[in-house]
Amino acid sequence: MSERQTEILLADGSVIADDWVWLRLPESAEPQKKSAGKVVLFRLTGDSAAPAEVVAGVAIPASGRVLLPLTIWLARKDELAPRLAAGEIGVWLDSFEEPQALVDSLADINTLPVIGLNFPRFIDGRAFSVAFLLRNRYGYRGQLRALGDVLRDQLFFLRRVGFDAYAVRADLDIRAAAASLADFPEVYQSSTDQPLPLFRRA
Amino acid sequence: MYRYNDYDRAIVKARVAQFRDQTRRFFAGELSEDEFRPLRLQNGLYIQRHAPMLRIAIPYGLLSSEQLRMLAHIARTHDRDYGHFSTRQNIQYNWIPLEQVPEVLEKLSSVDMHGIQTSGNCIRNITSDPYAGIALDEIVDPRPWCEILRQWSTFHPEFAFLPRKFKIAINGAEHDRAVVRCHDIGLEVYRNAAGELVLRVFAGGGMGRTPIIGSVIRDNLPWQHMLTYCEAVLRVYNRYGRRDNSYKARIKILVKALGAEEFARQVDAEWEHFKDGPGTLTQAELARVAAHFTAPAYDAAAGGESELAARAAAERPFERWLSRNVRAHRQPGYRAVVLSLKPTGKPPGDVDSDTMDAIADLADRYSFGELRVTHEQNLVLADVRADQLYALWGELRKLGLATPNIGLLTDIVCCPGGDFCSLANAKSIPIAQAIQERFDDLDYLYDLGELELNISGCMNSCGHHHVGHIGVLGVDKSGSEWYQISIGGAQGNDTSLGEVIGPSFAAEQVPDVVEHLIDTYVDNRQPEERFLDVVRRLGVEPFKSRVYANVAGAKRAKEVEHV
Ligand code: HEM
Ligand code: SF4
């Protein structure tokens, strides 16, 4: 299953044509996010994602830029090495996936031109922390893209933690949404966009 | 108290503009109900039984007379002439039409007020000790710490969509009056053996369906690290707190599942990465904020102690009020006065607009233009001259605010319950009133002494029933309203959770049940023992058997087990 996002909003408020194909796992192979009892499951990360044969069987577009699910990337990165070198491979994480796994899979995280973080529902705010970690802990400098349920009223926060591209949900007016990147004139606390809290600046 | 600077004001104004536009988009159909919900919630707006409920933040319970006048104006112009002071030191309105909310927020911003982060899954209004800065047992004034945290948490970009709401409370006194052990994070500011200012961090406390007393996850934390350490706690929670079930999404469930030690270890591991970074607080910032909380211009000549004693001796009602509603003050010649919002027959915590205006005037004339909201839903004039107490008492009596019942059985903490709240299983206000009516003999109340009775209309525990010496909880038994009774809960340094005495009762039985509980206490007490002490000494059994031997027809409620 793949989807071409035709336009994408950038942190400076511009809207540009987008040629990345967002590849997803087949519906049926979506990882089961179990909720029951065990501690490890609280992380909602403990489960293996799609079965190996599904991962092996997913058709990756033969050319052009592709944003791959983490599981596919991890399982098939050797076969994808030439395309990574050609700048055609990006990887996206679902909200329960660990960025460490992606970081460990590459000699240099910055060989990825794009990392996507998915918002399955906009109220699932885990990717705000993951974005912060990618930028500040793992030193990622490429494009960090918000995917999924990306709405206007989250843009200000998304920009602050380090996202610089926003795949605003297709049914919304992406150009009107851009205004919300600047909803507030000042901020108190430090984050990716502003490493100093107000009390060290004012 | 803290006064906004240009930055603070610009941020709140921008929020008003943002919400005005969001409301417009909602009415224009550009935002769905589901998309609008978290946006309005983060501005304090719930949709309730009658109309939206609007919750306004009163940061750590501090209010100026000017702000209170604005709250009165809003009650009068946009609501039905009253507001409800809540156990979270906020005020709530029940009847403001949605279309008017942007205008109300605009008006509030003119007095540096807002509904920002008063609901929703974000960091909520910080709560603290209503006697901050004046209490005799205070070690460190908690207010600057509250304000620093308020600013840090306001629109924190990473923590606006947490698994669930997040409440922080701060105490700086020997006796905890901020219920820090029942908050997501509770902070205690104190001085260590070396005399350094440090923090103790509790995490994972909370009430609700699964009441848990918080665990200490860090002790002796140098104050400079307050914000970075909280950031580490929040980041671990944001990433690993459960999101699949809203009843299990509070941080307390994560802390419990991991164990406090393992949770603390994960927080420390996270914190290591940035602990001395730019988020570290500076002496200059502490000094800047603390300068807003200096003592008012006390009159060293204030006094009149002997006159006060003489009046008290002469007038019993005045003596009673002094003993219950007036508290000692650090400044010689001054007292703190509690305005009881619990007269018999009125919903606890409700105040009408005219009374709000009158209280604002009293604050101006008697207490440097400031007041405080307590989590027991009363108001405090914190800096009253001893020689003006008698005059103030006279004025408060006329306003119905001098009921001398603070800390007594009728000083009931009570949520809005089924009369207003759509989550309620049962009404709570009529229960409070019925109990107040049953126990309206002041002599008897005084004899019973300190007794906290708390009522919640459902397991969400907005009325703090878990920590009431007597707790009353509304439960639903297939459509009719029933009440489960617990005893032995307490707030403060020895916080404990109440124990349920058994099957639930019908509304009209609750005053009888309370009476039998009280009788058991009276029959068993030793000199100086409070109700709570007797429960702790004897356990629930004697209370339970007396109640069930005398009140028939209790029903077992299914959904109320402690998970
Ligand atoms: C009428 C509208 C209200 C609604 C819909 C509402 C909703 C809730 C819910 C759902 C919870 C449980 C959260 C959880 O356990 O995760 C809760 C807890 C709480 N609410 Fe309310 N509430 C309302 C009014 C109030 C009022 C008026 C007060 C103060 C009197 C209040 C203070 C609290 C407190 C202290 C808690 C429990 C402490 C905690 O565990 O956080 N709420 N509320
Ligand atoms: S305890 Fe229940 S009934 Fe009472 S205000 Fe809270 S949610 Fe409503």
| pLDDT in 10s for each residue of chain B, 563 residues | 999 999 999 999 999 999 999 999 999 998 888 888 888 888 888 876 667 889 999 999 999 999 999 999 999 999 999 999 987 888 999 888 888 999 999 999 999 999 999 988 999 999 999 999 999 999 999 999 999 999 999 999 999 999 999 999 999 999 999 999 999 999 999 999 999 999 999 999 999 888 999 999 999 999 999 999 999 999 999 999 999 998 899 999 999 999 999 999 999 999 999 999 999 999 999 999 999 999 999 999 998 889 999 999 999 999 999 999 999 999 999 999 999 999 988 888 999 999 999 999 999 999 999 999 998 899 999 999 999 999 999 999 999 999 999 999 999 999 989 988 889 999 999 999 999 999 989 999 999 999 999 999 999 999 999 999 999 999 987 778 999 999 999 998 888 999 999 999 999 999 999 999 999 999 999 999 999 999 999 999 999 999 999 988 777 654 444 33
Residues B393, B341 share a domain: yes
DSSP B527: T
A68 has which bridge partners? Answer: A91
- Residue B253, min C-alpha distance to chain A (Å): 10
Find the CB nearest B243 among A124, A129, A185.
A124
In a domain, B146, yes or no: yes
Q: Which of B84, B121, B378, B462 to mutate to test the pocket of ligand 1 (most atoms within 8 A of CB)?
A: B462
- Judged by a CB distance cut-off of 8 A, whether residue B310 touches chain A is no
Q: What six digits make up the tokens of B19?
A: 């919400």
Among B366, B399, B432, the domain boundary falls at B399
- Judged by a CB distance cut-off of 8 A, whether residue B111 touches chain A is no
Q: Is the pLDDT of residue A28 over 60?
A: no
Q: Which of B432, B438, B410, B450 is nearest to B516 (CA)?
A: B438
Task: Determine if ligand 1 sits within 6 Å of the CB of residue B416.
Answer: yes
- Residue B69, min C-alpha distance to chain A (Å): 28
Residues B309, B279 share a domain: no
In a domain, B408, yes or no: no
Subunit contact B22:A153, Cβ cutoff 8 A: yes
**A197 contacts on B by Cβ (under 8 Å):** 152, 227, 278-279
Q: Which of B460, B466, B467 to mutate to test the pocket of ligand 1 (most atoms within 8 A of CB)?
A: B460
Subunit contact B243:A44, Cβ cutoff 8 A: yes
Ligand sitting nearest the alpha carbon of B181: 1
For chain B, the residue count is 563
Q: What is the pLDDT of residue A46?
A: 39
Point out the ligand 2 atom lying closest to the alpha carbon of residue B425.
3
Find the CB nearest B35 among A151, A156, A196.
A151
In a domain, B509, yes or no: yes
The CATH number linked to B461 is: 3.30.413.10
Give the chain B residue whose CA is nearest to the CA of A131: B158
Residues B264, B156 share a domain: yes
Task: Determine if ligand 1 sits within 6 Å of the CB of residue B179.
Answer: no
Work out whether the CA dihedral A80, A86, A92, A98 comes out positive or negative: positive
In a domain, B62, yes or no: yes
Ligand sitting nearest the alpha carbon of B248: 1
Q: Is the pLDDT of residue A36 over 70?
A: no
**B258 contacts on A by Cβ (under 8 Å):** 39, 42
Among B342, B369, B399, the domain boundary falls at B399
Q: Write down the mean pLDDT value for chain B.
A: 93
**A202 contacts on B by Cβ (under 8 Å):** 7
Q: What is the pLDDT of residues B50-106, one digit of tens each?
A: 678 899 999 999 999 999 999 999 999 999 999 999 878 889 998 888 889 999 999
Residues B190, B278 share a domain: yes
**B159 contacts on A by Cβ (under 8 Å):** 125, 128
- Judged by a CB distance cut-off of 8 A, whether residue B14 touches chain A is yes
Assign residue A34 a region: left if phi > 0, alpha if psi is -120 to 50, beta otherwise?
A: beta
Q: Which of B462, B525, B453 is nearest to B485 (CA)?
A: B453
CA B483 to ligand 2 center in whole angstroms: 13
B83: enclosing H helix or E strand = strand B82-85
Q: What's the 3-state SS for B1-35?
A: CCCCCHHHHHHHHHHHHHHHHHHHHHHCCCCCHHH
pLDDT, average across residues A53-65: 89
Among B226, B257, B290, the domain boundary falls at B290
More confident residue, A29 or B227: B227
Residues B421, B325 share a domain: no
Phi, psi of B38 (to 5 degrees): -65, -25
Subunit contact A128:B161, Cβ cutoff 8 A: yes
Task: Determine if ligand 2 sits within 6 Å of the CB of residue B208.
Answer: no
Alpha-helical regions (H) of A27-119: 39-42, 52-57, 70-85, 99-104
Residues B224, B201 share a domain: yes
In a domain, B170, yes or no: yes
Cβ burial, residue B422 (10 Å; 0-12/13-18/19+) = exposed
Find the CB nearest B11 among A151, A158, A184.
A184
In a domain, B119, yes or no: no
C-alpha span between B284 and B289 (Å, rounded):
9
- Judged by a CB distance cut-off of 8 A, whether residue B478 touches chain A is no
Domain encompassing residue B346: 305-399
Subunit contact B158:A184, Cβ cutoff 8 A: no
Subunit contact A200:B15, Cβ cutoff 8 A: no
Residues B283, B368 share a domain: no
Q: Which of B36, B16, B10, B14 is nearest to B25 (CA)?
A: B36
Give the chain B residue whose CA is nearest to the CA of A127: B239
Task: Determine if ligand 2 sits within 6 Å of the CB of residue B429.
Answer: no
Return the residue in B243, B245, B271 with the most chain A beta carbons within 10 A, the one to mutate for interface testing: B243
Chain A contacts in chain B segment 255-274 (CB below 8 A): 257-258, 273-274
Question: Quick one: pLDDT band at residue A53, thresholds 50, 70, 90?
Answer: confident
Ligand sitting nearest the alpha carbon of B418: 2
Q: What is the pLDDT of residue A5?
A: 58
Total domain count for chain B?
A: 4
C-alpha span between A16 and A13 (Å, rounded):
10
Task: Determine if ligand 1 sits within 6 Å of the CB of residue B53.
Answer: yes
Subunit contact B243:A188, Cβ cutoff 8 A: no
Could you give the domains of chain A?
2-25+49-201 (3.20.20.70)
Residues B522, B377 share a domain: no
Residues B374, B329 share a domain: yes
Task: Determine if ligand 1 sits within 6 Å of the CB of residue B46.
Answer: yes
Q: Is the pLDDT of residue A43 over 60?
A: no
Q: Which of A124, A55, A138 is nearest to A96 (CA)?
A: A124
Q: What is the pLDDT of residue A49?
A: 58
In a domain, B128, yes or no: no
Q: What six digits make up the tokens of B377?
A: 């839903």
In a domain, B120, yes or no: no
Q: What six digits make up the tokens of B119?
A: 């609901």
The CATH number linked to B337 is: 3.90.480.20
Residues B219, B184 share a domain: yes
Point out the ligand 2 atom lying closest to the alpha carbon of residue B417.
3
Residues B309, B286 share a domain: no
CA B173 to ligand 1 center in whole angstroms: 26
Q: What is the pLDDT of residues A160-186, one digit of tens each?
A: 999 999 999 999 999 999 999 999 999
Residues B83, B19 share a domain: yes
Q: Which of B50, B135, B79, B534 is nearest to B334 (CA)?
A: B135
Work out whether the CA dihedral A100, A104, A108, A112 comes out positive or negative: negative
Q: Write down the mean pLDDT value for chain A.
A: 88
